[in-house]
Structure 1
Amino acid sequence: MKSDVKKREQWRKKREYILAAAGTVVGYGNVWRFPYLCYKNGGGVFLLPYCFFAITCGLPLFLMETVIGQYTQEGPINCWTKLCPLAQGAGYSILIIQLYSRLYAIILAWAILYLIYSFRDPLPWATCDNPWNTDRCMDLSAVNLAAVGNLTSGNLTKSSVSEFWERGVLSMSAGIEEVGSVKWELLLCLLATWVACYFCIWKGVRSTGKVVYFTAIFPYVMLAILLVRGLILPGAWQGVVYYLYPDFSRLADSQVWMEACAQVLFSYGVGCGTFITFGSYNKVRNNCCRDSLWLCVLNSCTSFVAGFAVFSSLGFMSYKQGIPMDMVAESGPGLAFIAFPQAVAMMPFPQLWAVCFFLMIILLGLDSVFAGLETITSCVTDLFPEQMRKPWRREIFLIFFCSFVFIIQITLVSEGGVYQFQLLDYYSCSGTCIMFVCIIQCVAVGWAFGADRMCNAVEDKTGQRPWPLFRLCWRYFTPLICIVCFICSFLNNQTLTSSGGYVYPDWAYRLGWTVALSSVVPVPIYAVIRLFLTEGTFRQRLLVLWYPAPDLVNQTFNPLGEQPELETFVNAN
């Protein structure tokens, strides 16, 4: 009787993989994080530590994860059984990180609501004639240097843009303890987000490969439009100078190097299992070295160019209102939902530029959210292949999973939801957890499986051997850098405070640390359990779990039934 269990999926065309990977690496970190960090940490000087970490950490880790997926043909959990069984706990850490990262769906909901409001004339955040406005509100035509001075000195005046964000969109309560009522407009936008994510991946790479033609390319069109528009605005070059003006003294600040490393890991999307998943859908002879190089170059170039689009618009706003640049430059949601909308509202035809900007934000986030959802689905499918690869099982699982996460996230669209978002974003999706996963991956590939063996495997299948630098990075440079940054992140840890100086209660900080540790502890817990369940002396157990079994290695690097020369890269161990 013929089995109805399907084999592992593969990309139909090479360009579908390229577009899916490009859509994943280019996201919010490129638009609202990199430009601000560049401005904050010495302007053009920040590019030096950024490029250093991109070469020694970002690119090697990106290639390593792609190779892992492509040559094991497994997802982020099962791949370690063929590389280093003792490190399989890293796969479960990745799964937990991805579960927490579904948090970013709420950003899409905010952006959708802003997009809907962008069709109004006048833009609702440009005036104080709205139901949510208070007597403290000051519309954009009245905002000037003196008004902003009153804001920063504690006066009660507040810009219409800030009131729209805090009262019109979020209806912020006094703190995380006050959950308040649900914002029904945001709830519907959140529902639309999850429906869109479901249909983007419900058929696996068949549907994902079609969707990325739009979601990966269209943001570049929007970015190009905003870039050209921004550069021709009065005051634009003042913003560009603030963005890139070099301050070489900042290179002596260790925090600059820390933030550069964290930005590279965050922006390149490593340590999250997505590229292991995408690589596992590739053909085994795909030239992953070339793909990884160009995707990483694309990512870094997009970050650099996005800075011109952002800071030219902020320079225009500074010029228009007579406000210093350091009072308009923000990072994170503050840039996307306060600073940039304020700049857009001052331009001619503001509705057009608002629509372009928020469409770009939605599509940038959508790629990342459904890529992470695909990673989670791949993990579950690999763990239960007999059940999940049968017809319609994947679709049913996705319906239940998306519905479950949507229900949990209802609290995020309440009046206290933004405090929950900031707490979970700070602790659950931090660079520290990603650094830990990267360390484990480097040790497993560089030392347990062997960097030389991995390089030989790549050369055997693609005919192109990775540069010697990659072998050195996998074994020495990348894990060492991540270990140093991992330790420094704890030593330099700062207490989370919300906008307006709100301090979270003690129980919230304890909850945050519990969430952070939950994505780290699977590695040691799984290792201890496997050592305990494996037979033999401790040394025998360690050897069995440290090295891949020869038959698994042969199966891993010979998925097409060929006869490769395994002796060139496999030892009996």
Structure 2
Amino acid sequence: MLFVLGIPLLYMELTLGQYMRRGPVHALASVCPLLKGVGVASVAISFIMCMYYNVVITWALYYLFSSFQAPLPWQNCNNTWNTPNCTTHATNDSSFSSTASQEFFKYRMLEQTAGVHEAGTLRWQLFLILILAWIIIYLCIFKGVKSTGKVVYFTALFPYVILIALLINNVQLPGALNGIIFFIVPEPSVLQVWVNAAAQIFNSIGIGFGSLMAMSSYNSFNNNILKDTLTISIINSLTSILAGFVIFSALGYMSFLQSVPVSKLAVDGPGLVYIVYPQAFANMPVSQLWAVLFFFMLLCLGLDSEFAMVEVMVTSLMDEFHKEVMAIFKRKEFLVLAICIFALLLGIPCVMQVGIYVFQLMDHYTAIVSIMFLAFFEVIAVCWIYGVNRLSANVKEMNGSRPNIFFRVCWFIVAPVLITVILIFSIIQFKPARYEQYVFPPWAQGVGWIVALGSIIWIPVGAIHTLWVLPGTLLEKLKLSITPFALNGKSKMPYYERGGPSDYPGIAVISANSELPEKPPSQTKF
């Protein structure tokens, strides 16, 4: 999935952002006005994700603060929040017992209710930490991508120090090898793993979320896109594999201590990071040190992801409504502050006692369902309607040579076909959202689909709007709607922070090659 989907689509998005010098909304509107809604949808999905994703940073901060005590609060069952069924060791039958780590997560930090139908009350500790998380985000990004880049030097590199230190420690523990073997030996009978692999590549690299286009729009026009593509994708996947060795070596150690198969310990979702791994720390020497390092690493990784998602919203608003935004907020810093406060308020349900269910519901329908639809329409817009020839001409104009045959074949055939197959398979094999053993009721599933539609709906809305505003008969409208009105990356640079003109003329026309029109219809603005 990395080589046939991840790398080619990353190359495509970086090319589009760098050449158009715009965020995802204007970049997609330029190459395919009919599917300009894909750009809006990518901004919507990034904003929805940044709204609830910051709760992961909140949990990491909560665990980080809780790690500065001995013994660790999830190390034993002698606490006020523990139940009579609490045990310090996992067993083969978890229906009648729960570990101290599970109970700390559920009953201490979350104080979770029995289901999504019980909202409970606001967890004030988590709410205050959520405010702290947004303050950290704001301070890191309010000065723009240049200051964000400086912060990322630390937040992106420091986790490697901790991962390597954890790996060196973990591989010396008894049973670690069994956990690593469980990690690297595949289960070929599980077809669903291919869909999960594709979803992981999209989420991990950031394809379809608009952040790649937003960030690459700040590149110099002749920046080497292929080098960036290979560097980002390969380092990203190697980091995932490294983290897998770290995690599963610890799970192997837990399996050895408790005589429980690794498969019984290996879980997905928040449970892996906030239940199973903290439980492993409790049995390690110098447990407080490893806990502090691990959760600080999670904080750094979470911040990196959050930076990109918030920047998509900022870049898109500045591209589309620069004059209006500046008239209201006067400075870009105040716009960033307004976005952070708005996302903070929308994220409050995630720090209530019902929060874990809200988080799981939104994550399921946003990170899995919506992103596949977005990727499908983005590939259709760029690879088939805009065309591989035009995209290759853009690369040649910036870097001096066209992409090799591998990328052109992947763009034109492999990626569209593979995403279509995965999308169809995902729909056929779709499973309603659930959290552990709890299955969300039908009304909650309906809310989840509304969340998914919050991003997907912009695709048909954008198409309808384009056809509505274009002149001519329906056939003429359709022809114009698939005619690229791309922006020349060299001569029509955006106005803010990129050294371009102060007045923004809208989507202006360009000439990536002779096939493109000299100018769009004068009465039309996208």
TM over 0.5: yes
Q: Give 1 or 2: higher helix fraction.
A: 1
Q: Does 1:242 align with 2:182?
A: yes
Q: Deviations over 1:422-469 (max 9, x none)?
A: 111111222x32122222222222222221121122122212421212
The CA distance in 1 between the partners of 2:72 and 2:239, in whole Å, is: 29
Q: In the alignment, what sits opposite 2:409?
A: 472
**Residues 465 and 235 from structure 1, CA distance in 2 versus in 1: closer, same or farther, beyond 3 angstroms?**
same
Give runs of aligned pairs for residues 118-267 of structure 1, distance below 5 A.
118-138=67-87, 140=88, 143=89, 148-151=91-94, 154-155=95-96, 157-247=97-187, 249-250=188-189, 253-267=190-204
2-side partners of 1:517 and 1:280: how far apart? 27
**Residues 1:84 and 2:32 are matched in the alignment:** yes
Q: State the partner residue of 1:44.
A: none
Look up the SS of the partner of 1:283 in the other structure: coil
**Residues 529, 559 of structure 1: alpha-carbon distance in 2 compared, 3 angstrom cutoff:** closer
Counterpart of 1:399, as a letter, is: L
TM score, norm. by length of structure 2:
0.91
Structure 1 segment 417-436 matched on structure 2, within 5 A: 417-430=355-368, 432-436=369-373
Shift, 1:317, TM fit: 1.1
In structure 2, what residue type is equivalent to 1:377? V
| Letter matched to residue 356 of structure 1 | L
User: 1:197–1:369: 8 Å Cα contact kept in structure 2?
Assistant: yes
Does the C-alpha gap of structure 1 residues 532 and 135 become closer, same or farther in structure 2, counting only changes over 3 Å? same
Task: Supply the RMSD in Å over aligned alpha carbons.
Answer: 1.9
Identify the residue that residue 297 of structure 1 maps to in structure 2.
234
Pairing 1:96–2:39 present: no
1:523 to 459, 470, 486: 459
| Cα distance in 2 for residues equivalent to 1:292 and 1:305 | 20
1:548 maps to which residue?
484
Shift of 1:556: 3.7
Structure 1 residue 505: Cα displacement: 2.5
- Verify: 1:356 aligned to 2:296, yes or no: no
- Residue matched to 2:505: none
Aligned match of 1:443? 380
Contact 1:453 1:570 in 2 (8 A): no
The residue aligned with 1:382 is 319
Q: Is the alpha carbon distance of 1:441 and 1:417 closer, same or farther for their aligned partners in structure 2, counting shifts above 3 Å?
A: same
Which residue of the partner structure matches residue 524 of structure 2?
none
Structure 1 residues 184-218: Cα deviation after superposition (integer angstroms, max 9, x where no partner)? 21111111110011111101112212111111111
Matched residue pairs, number?
Answer: 500
Deviation of 1:559 after TM superposition, in Å, equals 4.3
User: In structure 2, what is the Cα distance between the partners aligned to 1:259 and 1:409?
Assistant: 26
Matched, 1:571 2:503: no
**Match of 1:263, as an amino acid?**
Q
Give CA deviations for 1:39-98 in whole Å, capped at 9, x if unaligned.
Answer: xxxxxxxxxxxxxx2111111110111111100000010112321211210011111101
Equivalent-residue separation in structure 2 for 1:407 and 1:162 (angstroms): 28
Q: After the TM superposition, which segments of 4 or more aligned residues of structure 1 sit over 6 Å from their partners?
A: none
| Residue 522 (structure 2) aligns with | none
| Secondary structure of residue in 2 paired with 1:429 | helix
1:117 aligns to 2:66 (yes or no)? yes
- Change in Cα spacing, 1:281 to 1:504, as seen in structure 2 (3 Å) is same
Q: CA deviation at 1:418?
A: 0.9
Aligned partners of 2:373 and 2:117: how far apart in 1? 31
**Structure 2, gaps ≥5 residues long:** 494-499, 501-509, 518-526
- 2:333 aligned partner, one-letter code: E
> Could you say which residue in structure 1 is the equivalent of 2:215?
278
Q: Is the 8 A contact 1:60 1:470 kept in 2?
A: yes
Shift of 1:174: 1.3
Question: Contact 2:29–2:39 (CA<8 Å) still a contact in 1?
Answer: no
TM-score by length of 1: 0.84
Determine if the alignment matches structure 1 residue 54 to structure 2 residue 7.
Answer: no
Deviations 1:147-206 (A, max 9, x none): x1342xx32x22111110110110011111211122121111111110011111101112
Are the structure 2 counterparts of residues 568 and 402 from structure 1 closer, same or farther at C-alpha, using a change threshold of 3 Å? closer
**Partner residue in 1 for 2:349:** 411
Deviation at 1:572, TM superposition (A): 4.0
Unaligned runs of 5+ in 1: 1-52
Question: What is the CA distance between 1:522 and its match in structure 2?
Answer: 1.1
**How far off is 1:268 after superposition?**
1.7
d(CA) in 1 for partners of 2:186 and 2:373?
Answer: 32
Does residue 393 of structure 1 match 2:344? Answer: no
Cα pair distance change 1:254/1:570, threshold 3 Å = farther
Matching residue's letter, 1:320: L
